[in-house]
């Protein structure tokens, strides 16, 4: 039973919510979400330029800065605050399901 609200389309939408109790405190908590690191067919290889930021790359490919996390899911070890020029990032297509 989900006690905590997670909005539809959130990357946490399918994550289990449980209640933690400690002394007099009760808190709803999310479990870790599993990340599929496989790069899907149709992905594009983007080479980072001097002016790139992860949110701008998301906007460039998806029309919104909100999917920066999806790019990072497919590019483990990438620091979103320090994108080195010349670094290549996989840009996966957004699944429609």
What pLDDT, on a 0 to 100 scale, did the predictor assign at position 43?
Answer: 95
How far, rounded to the nearest angstrom, does the alpha carbon of residue 86 sit from its chain's CA centroid?
A: 22
Q: What is the pLDDT of residue 61?
A: 97
pLDDT (0 to 100) of residue 23: 81
**pTM for the predicted model, two decimal places:** 0.68
Q: How many helices (H) and strands (E) does the chain have?
A: 2, 4
pLDDT for res 49 = 97
pLDDT tens across the length of the chain (97 residues): 444 556 666 666 666 666 777 788 777 666 666 777 888 899 999 999 999 999 999 999 999 999 999 999 899 899 999 999 999 999 999 874 4
d(CA 87, CA 82): 10
Residues 6+ apart with CB under 8 A from 72: 54, 78, 80
Give which of 85, 97, 95, 96 is closest to 39, Cα–Cα.
95
């Amino acid at each position: 039973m989900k006690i905590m609200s997670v909005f539809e389309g959130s990357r946490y939408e399918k994550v289990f919510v449980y209640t933690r109790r400690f002394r007099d405190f009760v808190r709803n908590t999310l479990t870790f979400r599993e990340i599929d690191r496989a790069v899907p067919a149709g992905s594009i290889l983007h080479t980072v330029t001097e002016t790139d930021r992860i949110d701008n790359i998301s906007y460039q490919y998806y029309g919104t800065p909100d999917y920066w996390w999806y790019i990072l899911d497919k590019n483990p070890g990438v620091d979103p605050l320090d994108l080195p020029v010349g670094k290549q990032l996989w840009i996966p297509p957004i699944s429609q399901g």
